[in-house]
Amino acid sequence: MNQEEMDQKFEAGLELWTAGSVQDGAEMWMDLAENGHLVSIRELFHIFLDQKEFEAAESYLAFAKDPNEPTILYLRARLLEERDGIDAAVESFEAAADAGHPGANSLMFRWAIEARDIASAKYFLEALKGYENELSKMTEADSLSDLHEQLEELRRNLLEILPVYFVLASGRWMRVRNEINEREENQEAWESFLSVHDLSVDEFERYEQWWIFAGAVVVEKLKAQFIDEFLEAATPDSHDEFENFFRKYANWDDFIRELSECTPGDTESTDGGPSYFSEYALGSGLCDPVVSGPDFDEEMIAEISELVESWFRENYDRAQSILLSAYDEIMKIR
């Protein structure tokens, strides 16, 4: 029996099932499933899964001609979820998503949104393009435009907390900024400067105190995420040396503040000189010589700067996701 004939037989079984001849319809599907008909396998799997008959549901997966077919991978993940709990099924859902199953990609997108992970949400949204029809039939039906709006909502969430990141700074930059804007002597100039960044004087002072005390914990969490990303991008022979620098000498406060205001375009060279990102996020931030020490290995600093700038250029959405991971904590003081 060829594929077309099997599809026709499946439709005949569906007509019987819909008309109330459930047993006759199911028997037709069982015959098809034993011959590897994917749609029949899926239908029978769901029938037994809904009845919590896990062994029967799993038995039909064995009839698949290709055990790595996306639908089979997804059904196996669903079996694990229903039988053993969602934690036991995560890796299987990831495998099904990697194989291109729209149901798995839709689930991974929802998880990314819940985790406020812009980078992953964007990735899974791209993977769902072309599956509008499948999305409309899912239990939690969404259109691609609905999913896109959820992703944009994450970006708006980040915009809400960027003014708080603007206040984050080390003592050195704080002193320089105070001098530039005559914070104590010229209240009008200070208020004007802050208004450009959507801040009032009261907000600035509140955020400043928060970063010094409770916010220090948030910085440590952000720092840990950035370090993991940078070390993953580093070569094995530089890993230990770079890690030592990141953990003991890097100026994270100013780096995070400057990075929060940068875009990939800021990694482009300016008139043949260093990029804005290199000059401020790195030179006056992460690799600030006042923090790292004037005698620090300049060659290593150059390598770290190149690594981090390249990472930011290629992983802007991931950088945004890391900043957004502090949303709940920051919104407590907004």
Give the model confidence (pLDDT) of 60-83 as tens digits: 999 999 999 999 999 999 999 999
Per-residue pLDDT at 110: 96
104 contacts 97 by C-beta, under 8 angstroms: yes
The domains of the chain, with CATH numbers, are 3-155 (1.25.40.10), 156-334 (no CATH)
Q: How far apart are CA 123 and CA 115, in angstroms?
A: 14
Residue 171: which pLDDT band, with cuts at 50, 70 and 90?
low
Is residue 216's pLDDT more than 60?
Answer: yes
pTM: 0.88
Is residue 182's pLDDT more than 70?
Answer: no
Give tens-digit pLDDT for 79-115.
999 999 999 999 999 999 999 999 999 999 999 999 9
Is residue 292's pLDDT more than 80?
Answer: no
Lowest model confidence (mean pLDDT) among 10-19, 171-180, 196-205: 171-180
Contacts of 2 (CB under 8 A, 6+ apart): none
Per-residue pLDDT at 294: 54
122 contacts 155 by C-beta, under 8 angstroms: no
Which residue, chain included where needed, has tokens 């100026």? 251
Per-residue pLDDT at 175: 55
Q: How far apart are CA 261 and CA 6, in angstroms?
A: 58
